[in-house]
């Protein structure tokens, strides 16, 4: 169900930091028009840590209304406590979610057995397909082999977004847990993930490069053209470095959304706005990446048109 390009949507705010639902709808429409295959709400990219519980639940509902069944809706239900996560899971189900995004609760550092119990309780609370989210850089714990063996016995645990940055995890999941579909959660490793059989890429870049990331997915999965995919990834790498390595993740994604001509608004505290110097650098990198990607995509379109003409002439 959850295959392809799956953006975790940003949450646009007004200048007074209130949620701007109209702008949210505009970004969602852009992503769907660009061909994304599903959308995640209330994830890290959506600044879920800065939203109240009421705002998160309301987001489940208005996201469902905007998407209106055109692509699957995946709701992030992460919380500091198991009870809180279960409450969000039930709220997501009631809102009409197609699945859940589940990470380890931050700060508490559960063991693998404790983490498995946490996730199994969320599963029982909502009984929806679950995409696990392994991001030890933010949660402090890894979804290891013991954990995956325990939860993998349940049919709802069908996917894992792997964001550790450790390529050995890709090998481990592919080899030992083939029944759990692999999703790329490391921006600079998307090519490697697809070479190893990943079925999706959860990428914040689809908030502003929707058509481009979908084209990359098709190049890897449909066409198996990894030479072209490598060219596209080379064009993206300077941008992924700024977004993930600059310590300004949410701000960088929102600024890129604005560069694409879409509304994003500020980030909520404790995050702060980007400095002018960083914006200047990012603008240059963004435009270079966009130009390069468009040129690569145009080359393929021209090649396809030439091939079609030859087929017609031969026929």
- Please give the Cα distance from 80 to 78 (Å, whole number): 7
Residue 30: predicted pLDDT: 98
- Spatial distance between the Cα atoms of 105 and 180, rounded to a whole number of angstroms: 21
DSSP-derived secondary structure letter, 12: -
Helical pair 226-245 and 249-259, crossing angle rounded to 10 deg: 120
Which residues does the chain have with pLDDT short of 70?
300-315
What one-character DSSP code corresponds to residue 140? S
Q: From CA 216, how far away is CA 8, in angstroms rounded? A: 17
Per-position DSSP letters for 75-108, written without gaps between them = EE---SSHHHHHHHHHHHHHHT-SEEEEEPPTTT
Largest CA distance in the chain: 67
Is 36 in a helix, a strand, or coil?
coil
Q: What is the pLDDT of residue 309?
A: 47
Dihedral in degrees, nearest 10, Cα atoms 195, 159, 142, 134: 80
For residue 215, what pLDDT is reported? 98
Q: Are 43 and 8 in contact (CB under 8 A)?
A: yes
* Domains of the chain with bracketed CATH: 4-223 (3.20.20.70)
User: Measured between alpha carbons, how far is residue 283 from residues 118, 157, 191, 234, 259 in Å?
Assistant: 42, 39, 24, 17, 7
C-alpha span between 209 and 151 (Å, rounded): 34
Quick check: 187 and 221 in contact, CB under 8 A? no
HSE value, Cβ hemisphere, 13 Å, CA-based, for 216: 35
The catalytic residues are 133, 161
| C-alpha span between 264 and 237 (Å, rounded) | 23
Cβ pair 106, 44 in contact under 8 A: no
Cis? peptide before 209, omega within 30° of 0 = no
Please tell me the predicted confidence (pLDDT) of residue 315: 59
What does the alpha-carbon distance between residue 206 and residue 73 come to, in Å, rounded to a whole number? 15
Query: What's the pLDDT score for residue 247?
Result: 83
pLDDT of residue 7: 98
């Amino acid at each position: 169900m959850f295959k392809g390009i799956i953006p975790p949507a940003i949450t646009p705010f007004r200048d007074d930091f209130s949620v701007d639902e109209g702008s949210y709808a505009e970004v969602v429409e852009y992503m769907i028009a660009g061909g994304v295959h599903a959308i995640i709400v209330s994830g890290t990219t959506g600044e879920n840590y800065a939203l109240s519980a009421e705002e998160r639940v309301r987001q489940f509902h208005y996201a469902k209304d905007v998407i209106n069944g055109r692509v699957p809706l995946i709701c992030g239900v992460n919380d500091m406590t198991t009870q809180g996560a279960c409450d969000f899971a039930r709220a997501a189900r009631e809102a009409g979610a197609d699945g859940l995004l589940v990470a380890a609760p931050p700060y508490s550092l559960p063991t693998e057995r404790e983490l498995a119990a946490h996730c199994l309780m969320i599963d029982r609370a909502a009984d929806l397909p679950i995409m696990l989210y392994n991001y030890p850089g933010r949660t402090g714990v890894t979804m290891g082999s013991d954990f995956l063996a325990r939860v993998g016995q349940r049919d709802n645990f069908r996917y894992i977004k792997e964001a550790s940055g450790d390529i050995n995890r890709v090998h481990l999941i592919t080899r030992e847990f083939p029944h759990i579909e692999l999703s790329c959660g490391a921006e600079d490793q998307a090519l490697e993930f697809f070479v190893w059989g990943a079925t999706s890429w959860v990428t914040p870049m689809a908030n502003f490069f929707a058509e481009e990331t979908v084209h990359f997915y098709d190049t890897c999965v449909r066409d198996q053209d990894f030479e072209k995919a490598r060219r596209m990834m080379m064009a993206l790498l300077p941008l992924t470095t700024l977004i993930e390595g600059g310590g300004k993740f949410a701000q960088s994604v929102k600024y890129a959304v604005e560069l694409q001509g879409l509304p994003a608004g500020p980030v909520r505290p404790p995050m702060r706005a980007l400095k002018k110097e960083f914006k200047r650098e990012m603008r240059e990198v963004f435009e270079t990446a966009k130009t390069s990607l468009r040129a690569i995509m145009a080359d393929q379109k021209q090649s396809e048109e030439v091939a079609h003409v030859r087929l017609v002439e031969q026929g």
